[in-house]
């Protein structure tokens, strides 16, 4: 990162701590106001050398570091999500991707609350503020346990909209199979969307679309010795901006650089068992990101073709982290999905 973009590390750590505190205390009223105090700047990033053939779009407008989310123009969002007292609030549950935590959704949390929606962000096991020995995570069930527990504790008549990113899509799919009655819709945002009997590793290992950057940006951790299988993966921080955040504001890149953690490897290798009666009964939606170097568009398209969702959306100009790079556009899609009647298990929701 250029010297002009280098931020005071203590400031960034303070922002991460504030975000984590907000999520885990589940602030309902004042939480939105505090979240809006997390400011950010915007800068246009250049594509990595290995992807120089794809020109990244220039931004049409810039947002200064002093511009709060609440003052950004959000056309028709209040109308789209207005609660007239006769309809229940839409409840979104956000599932982060590998290496991230609930903190990465702070913009979307604030915007959804402004749109009069309920929202919770989950820290998967060993992620965000959920601390454990990452070598102990051997299964998807262990990795997704916080999400499974959250759904299990919902009221019997309560349904939520799951939104998953990256390998969070695997955990989300597992949760859909385990608790189908608690999920009204599932939105895969640049996420791993698997077919029955496949693992995330299966999908990634068969794709020629993965670039040299993709291979260099991820490093294996051998917690049990190099003669054993890897126990985790971590990102090369020198490549984070090019790999995950090529369209992301500089302050969000800095926040991520001090907040991201290793990803347990075992869940990536586990094959999912997904049934038509449970997982298949829930309407699925896929949000594609066209400037994504972590899960390139051809790989996203391959997953879509393998097990087509109800509807596919395109977030133009989005990198792998649209909750940072295109929060307003992502919000609009989430609200559109939430307000479209869908048939689930023989009834309209």
Give yes or no for residue 349 having a pLDDT over 70: no
- Higher pLDDT among residues 7 and 332, named by residue: 332
What's the pLDDT at 212? 75
In a domain, 192, yes or no: yes
Structural domain containing residue 16:
3-39+91-339
In a domain, 71, yes or no: no
List the structure tokens of 226: 């190099």
What's the pLDDT at 82? 47
Task: Please tell me the distance from the alpha carbon of residue 28 to that of residue 113, in angstroms, as a whole number.
Answer: 9
Task: Please tell me the distance from the alpha carbon of residue 1 to that of residue 9, in angstroms, as a whole number.
Answer: 13
In a domain, 118, yes or no: yes
Average pLDDT estimate for 187-206: 93
In a domain, 349, yes or no: no
What's the pLDDT at 2? 39
Give yes or no for residue 49 having a pLDDT over 60: no
Which residue(s) pair with 344 in the sheet?
A: 347
pLDDT tens across 86-112, in order? 567 899 999 999 999 999 999 999 999
List the structure tokens of 156: 């019997």
Task: Please tell me the distance from the alpha carbon of residue 96 to that of residue 120, in angstroms, as a whole number.
Answer: 11
Q: Is 343 helix (H, G, I), strand (E, B) or coil?
A: strand
Q: Residue 205 — very low, low, confident or very high, per pLDDT cuts 50/70/90?
A: confident
Total domains in the chain come to 1
- Higher pLDDT among residues 309 and 9, named by residue: 309
pLDDT tens across 25-42, in order? 433 444 444 344 333 333
C-alpha to C-alpha distances, 216 to 4, 18, 258, nearest whole angstrom: 26, 32, 20
In a domain, 310, yes or no: yes
List the structure tokens of 122: 């989950």
State the pairing for strand pair 232-235/183-191.
unpaired
In a domain, 156, yes or no: yes
Give yes or no for residue 67 having a pLDDT over 60: no
Residues with catalytic roles:
166, 292, 320
What residues contact 120, with CB distance under 8 A and at least 6 apart?
A: 26, 91, 92, 93, 94, 150
In a domain, 167, yes or no: yes
Longest pairwise C-alpha distance within the chain: 61
Average pLDDT estimate for 259-283: 97
- Computed over every residue of the chain, the mean pLDDT equals 81
- Higher pLDDT among residues 78 and 296, named by residue: 296
In a domain, 8, yes or no: yes
What's the pLDDT at 147? 98
Domain of 9, CATH number, reads: 3.40.50.1820
């Amino acid at each position: 990162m250029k010297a002009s973009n280098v931020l005071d590390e203590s400031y960034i750590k303070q922002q991460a701590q504030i975000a984590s505190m907000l999520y885990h205390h589940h602030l309902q009223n004042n939480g939105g106001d505090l979240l809006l105090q997390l400011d950010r700047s915007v800068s246009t990033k250049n594509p990595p050398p290995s992807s120089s053939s794809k020109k990244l779009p220039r931004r049409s407008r810039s947002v200064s570091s002093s511009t709060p989310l609440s003052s950004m123009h959000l056309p028709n969002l209040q109308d789209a999500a207005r609660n007239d007292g006769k309809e229940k609030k839409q409840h979104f549950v956000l599932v982060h991707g590998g290496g991230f935590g609930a903190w990465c959704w702070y913009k979307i949390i604030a915007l959804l609350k402004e749109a009069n929606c309920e929202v919770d962000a989950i820290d998967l096991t060993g992620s965000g503020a959920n601390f454990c020995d990452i070598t102990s995570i051997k299964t998807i069930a262990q990795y997704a346990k916080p999400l499974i527990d959250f759904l299990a504790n919902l009221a019997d008549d309560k349904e939520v909209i799951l939104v998953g990113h990256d390998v969070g899509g695997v955990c989300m799919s597992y949760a859909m199979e385990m608790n189908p009655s608690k999920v009204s819709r599932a939105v895969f945002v640049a996420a791993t969307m698997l077919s029955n009997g496949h693992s995330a590793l299966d999908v990634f290992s068969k794709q020629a679309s993965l670039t040299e950057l993709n291979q260099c940006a991820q490093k294996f951790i051998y917690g049990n010795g190099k003669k054993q299988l890897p126990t985790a993966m971590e990102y090369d921080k020198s490549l984070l901006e090019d790999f995950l955040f090529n369209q992301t504001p500089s302050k969000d890149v800095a926040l991520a650089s001090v907040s991201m953690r290793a990803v347990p490897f075992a869940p990536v290798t586990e094959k999912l068992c997904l049934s038509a009666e449970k997982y298949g009964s829930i309407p699925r939606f896929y949000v594609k990101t066209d400037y994504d170097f972590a899960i390139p568009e051809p790989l996203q398209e391959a997953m879509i073709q393998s097990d087509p969702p109800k509807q596919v959306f395109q977030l133009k100009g989005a990198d792998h982290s649209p909750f940072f790079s295109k929060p307003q556009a992502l919000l609009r899609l989430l609200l559109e999905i939430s307000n479209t009647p869908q048939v689930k298990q023989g009834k309209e929701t």
